[in-house]
Structure 1
Amino acid sequence: MVRLLGPVWLWAAVALCQAGCILSWQEAFLLASSNVSECPSYSRPELRVAIIGAGASGTTAAYLLSQAQERLHEVHMRGLPGCEGAVWPERVHTTVYERDRVGGRVHHVHPLDDLQQAPVEMGASILSSANQHMLYATDKFGVKRVPPEQIPGGGYGLWNGKEVLIDQFTDTTWDQLRLYWRYGRSLSIVFQLMQRALTSFLQLYNPIFLQERSGPTAKSGFPWSSVKGLVRSLGLQDPSTVSTKNYYMTHKVSAAFVDEVINGVTRANYAQHVEHIHALAGMVSMAATDAFSMEGGNTQIFERMLAASGATVHTGIAGQVTGLMRMQGASSQWWVGTRDGRGSVFDAVIIATPWQSARITLLNTEHTVPMYEMQQVHVTLVATDAPRPSQAYFGYATTAQVPRTILTTQAPDGSVPEFLSLSYLRELHHVRHAGTTWDKLYLVKIFSLAPLSPQQLQRILPGRIVWTRYHAWSAYPQLTPPSQWPSFHVAQNLYNINAMERWVSTIETSTIAAKNTVASLLQNWLGAGFVLGQNCTWESASVAAHWDTWGCT
């Protein structure tokens, strides 16, 4: 449904457009690598960039653009071989529009609504030691990494709504033998397939892979104009284009392991089943080794990136973009209009917000931003005096201990439990809430596909429920194998960071998408020499530790 826009910014844009803008819906648009220039393509004193959305990808993009400013200073001082006489802009000016809060889907709350209690993530809570961008960013911005929250000694369980399939798993030798007895070599096969995919994925952190040149472009294709090109360059087409179940079954993983363990993990991480989610996303669900979170909440890393970027930030109605209109001309600028009736012209625009919920109208272009169906997830935080989940609910004897972390999977008859996962996160000692003092409470997080009623919570948790907090959100796309991959380029000088969401949806991949998108924008405006560098030398085992820099550094 087309949203009618207020006339103020629209008429202002039309007035600007009348000077040299022909409103044509037959816009000719071609972005080809053969047109890549070594030097700046446009001569402007200032490159003006708008970013719509201040989540993980938008704030990262703003920060990366600020680092381009440092590279510009260097180029002004030393020049760039082959670009003598080129006119470089003096600065890159970035404006960020955010209608809600910085961090986007990264969101935390304080237990018992007590600001003295350490925050707990409602989602996007776990990062992995393989996440090189986030490792570097936490070090650079002085954010302390901490292990994911979990009460020690609680054990893991897997439940299908009818019976407990795995009980009190704590990764001992005996536990490993129990897994082997039930699933054979399946765990080993899955680990090998994951390692192979991870090795391919880690190329994204290697500057030799990213930036080694073949004429005017990088051999790898970086920066990629489409997700398809990125996936092909990494050699990850196979796991990215078939379902998790089909992929693992083809590689001789037992059906029981796929339907029970892997399905339990994909339900917990992406709220999707192995029959539907593509195999690479299924691997990501299994790959959270050496996991960590950020002390004080994951949002702060993006707040610090945005602050460090020096970008102009508009929030509230001034940050709610309602329309984008292409200004016809040699450089194809864009008018960005906001709900408060104002607007500005930019040389390039980066869309860093889910388009399907953005309510933005695109004008004067035949191009569209791809939309995809999001997975709705319900998160329930509970403070309870129950030290463990209910024995009766899960079918345990009254003398048995129920695991404090429970994953769920589908039963053989096709039925599914009423929640996706349950985790006891921490103990709260000597706390006061609603006029009552408690010696000890337990903070529990439950993910589900539908809201859980107080009656359901009382059945799952047998003690007194002291405090609850509900949060429903469109957490990630439905990650079915795609018929086609979207492009990072929507139209000339209009970019879509979220094109990568349909491939892998994580905090880290949001930063990778931002790096690729900003690199593409800068290469278009400032040339390949600026982005890729010239005659760079790196050690063969080099990892792009300084992923936020441009050129050979």
Structure 2
Amino acid sequence: MKHPLVLVVWSLTLLVCNNQANLNIAIIGGGIGGTSCAHFLREMFNDLVKIDIYEGNKVGGRLATEIMNDGNEYETGGSVIHQRNKYMSDFVNHFGLQKRNSLFKNERLGFYNGKDFDFIENNYFILHLMNIYWRYGYSLKHLNDFVYSMLDKFDKIYELQANGQSFDTTYDLLTSMDPSFVNYLNISVKDAYLKNDYSISLVTELVQASIRVNYGQNINVHQFVGTVSMAGMDGSLWSVKEGNKRVAEKLLEISKAQLIDEYVIQIMKNGESYTLLTNTGKKSTYDYVVFAAPLVSNQRIPINFANIPLEFDKLGTYHQTVCTLVFGKIKKTQFPPLSDYPSPILIISTNEKVFFNSISNIEGVNETANLNVWKVFSQEPLTNNQIHALFVNITDVKIVNWLAYPHYYVPTESRSFHIADRLYHINAIEWVASAMEMSCIGAKNVALLIKKHFYSKEQSETVERSHIEL
């Protein structure tokens, strides 16, 4: 019989050797979720893990840009980050990236009802405050207090994850921050806010506008995502110089993951491992697979899950949002109240019958400003007639059609971060709210789940082997 101390040392040595030989992880999707998961896995396992990221398009996923004919690059996907987003801020600081200086600090906001403006910001601060409180009343302060109270509770997730805590479902994750958060998934933001005596105009104009511009939907979304949307209206937002996609590119580099520029078309379960088949016919086998992309009934690149039962009719759908970049001049006759205002503008439609969600001037990712470059969000691709109804002197148009975020509904059931044994889904968290920071939180949760499973399994096998040796 081995001495107990010798047995412990032998067991630990065997565990390390097994780690080096056996831990191979595939991540499907090279967006912010997939690349941040690779980074977190590298931090947790160091050189004991081999990571492959499958991305058949561009690294960054929904963090994407387009070049217009002025030679500058503009965001077409995820564009803004909140000042309290810890992971995104840490990535920028640690990787030598820079926050982009906003050149449109005096942007003027207007809520358009299809015929006229219900509200337009005044360029004089005191008059602006008087106007906004005159229209929306003191309930605006109560709403701001509620949003920041929710953010304070939300911050608990960072401490929990730093301590290695992981969660199997979205309900578990929310409950860990505050038990009341689960209730927010089961009531619309409209009903929740009216129940709390916020004014009708505040809900149907300001809250509706925030959801239209951020999620392309309306005040029937659940309260949690509606409140996240409102947090993005306080002006405490920033972006990354050279484009938000630079964060994903840096995460890929730092993680030392191998990028495989192919699409996965099949995931097959073989005992305790998975075989991935790509569009070029390449096959590779992994111990763990992380799905870092939307998994919905209307996904555009279908994947066959062989020997893995999935009920796609229960997955839900993602919401189509079309981003149209236009180089031209806005027709001020279409919006007379703005005709005498030369500064940047953001027009948000509160009327769902209007063919656009929002129209705004847009800054270049390299801190360039051109008041002739516009971003239009809409539910459907704009026709030429619609584009020309809004703009004149058009010299360039770029269109990007996204399945950008879930189509939110009430009630929203809990989503699992497990698709099957050793198969994980980061984007389950998007049914709580879709944002860059949420993807990073989901990514770290999945990395922690893998770590928990792997070490508990390896320790169990080591104990079994030690019993045999004894």
- TM-score, shorter chain, exceeding 0.5: yes
Q: For structure 1, which segment, 234-243 or 224-233, has the greater mean C-alpha deviation from structure 2 after superposition?
A: 234-243
- Kept in 2, the 8 Å contact 1:362–1:368? The answer is no
The yes-or-no answer on 1:200 pairing with 2:153 is: yes
Which residue type is aligned with residue 204 of structure 2?
D
1:262–1:372 distance in 2 versus 1, CA, 3 Å: same
- What SS does the aligned partner of 1:304 have? helix
d(CA) in 2 for partners of 1:427, 1:210 = 35
The yes-or-no answer on 1:405 pairing with 2:354 is: no
- What SS does the aligned partner of 1:302 have? helix
d(CA) in 1 for partners of 2:338, 2:285 = 68
1:190–1:170 distance in 2 versus 1, CA, 3 Å: farther
d(CA) in 2 for partners of 1:528, 1:189 = 49
Number of residue-to-residue matches in the alignment: 434
Partner of 1:321: 264
1:327–1:287 distance in 2 versus 1, CA, 3 Å: same
Partner of 1:9: none
Partner of 1:393: 334
d(CA) in 2 for partners of 1:397, 1:291 = 24
- Kept in 1, the 8 Å contact 2:34–2:292? The answer is yes
- Kept in 2, the 8 Å contact 1:242–1:278? The answer is yes
Give how far 1:426 is off. 4.5
Which residue type is aligned with residue 413 of structure 2?
Q
Give how far 1:394 is off. 2.4
Partner of 1:339: 279
Which residue type is aligned with residue 284 of structure 1?
V
1:211–1:441 distance in 2 versus 1, CA, 3 Å: closer
d(CA) in 2 for partners of 1:367, 1:493 = 15
The yes-or-no answer on 1:417 pairing with 2:382 is: no
Partner of 1:234: 177
Give how far 1:459 is off. 2.6
Deviations 1:182-214 (A, max 9, x none): 1211211111110121111111122xx4466xx
The yes-or-no answer on 1:143 pairing with 2:89 is: no
d(CA) in 1 for partners of 2:186, 2:171 = 11
Partner of 1:270: 215
Give how far 1:271 is off. 0.3
Partner of 2:7: none
The yes-or-no answer on 1:353 pairing with 2:315 is: no
Q: What is the identity percentage for the equivalent residue pairs of Structure 1 and Structure 2? A: 27
Partner of 2:22: 46
Deviations 1:47-89 (A, max 9, x none): 111111111111111111211233x7xxxxxxxxxxxxxxxxx
Corresponding residue to 2:206 among 257, 261, 274: 261
Give how far 1:360 is off. 1.2
Give how far 1:398 is off. 6.6
Partner of 1:308: 254
Give how far 1:148 is off. 4.5
Give how far 1:146 is off. 1.3
Give how far 1:243 is off. 0.8
The yes-or-no answer on 1:516 pairing with 2:445 is: yes
- What SS does the aligned partner of 1:393 have? coil
Give how far 1:120 is off. 0.9
Corresponding residue to 2:242 among 291, 296, 300: 296
Deviations 1:190-247 (A, max 9, x none): 11110121111111122xx4466xxxxx7xxx30011111112222122232111011
d(CA) in 2 for partners of 1:100, 1:192 = 41
Deviations 1:353-401 (A, max 9, x none): 22232411112233557622111111111112x3xx4332124497677
The yes-or-no answer on 1:363 pairing with 2:300 is: no
- Unaligned segments of structure 2, at least 5 residues: 1-13, 460-470
1:296–1:379 distance in 2 versus 1, CA, 3 Å: same
Q: Which has the higher helix share?
A: 2
Deviations 1:10-51 (A, max 9, x none): xxxxxxxxxxxxxxxxxxxxxxxxxxxxx9799452311111
Deviations 1:87-113 (A, max 9, x none): xxxx11111111211111111012217
1:511–1:399 distance in 2 versus 1, CA, 3 Å: closer
- Kept in 2, the 8 Å contact 1:58–1:514? The answer is yes
The yes-or-no answer on 1:224 pairing with 2:167 is: yes
- Kept in 2, the 8 Å contact 1:131–1:508? The answer is yes
Corresponding residue to 1:382 among 283, 305, 326: 326
Partner of 1:123: 77
- Structure 1 vs Structure 2 CA RMSD: 2.7
Partner of 1:280: 224
d(CA) in 2 for partners of 1:280, 1:65 = 29
1:347–1:398 distance in 2 versus 1, CA, 3 Å: closer
- Kept in 2, the 8 Å contact 1:128–1:291? The answer is yes
1:254–1:475 distance in 2 versus 1, CA, 3 Å: same
TM-score with structure 1 setting the length: 0.73
d(CA) in 2 for partners of 1:474, 1:509 = 17
- What SS does the aligned partner of 2:93 have? helix
- Kept in 2, the 8 Å contact 1:41–1:527? The answer is no
Partner of 1:164: 117
- Kept in 2, the 8 Å contact 1:40–1:527? The answer is no
Partner of 2:62: 105
- Unaligned segments of structure 1, at least 5 residues: 1-38, 73-90, 213-217, 432-439, 531-553
Deviations 1:142-165 (A, max 9, x none): 111014553x54421111012211
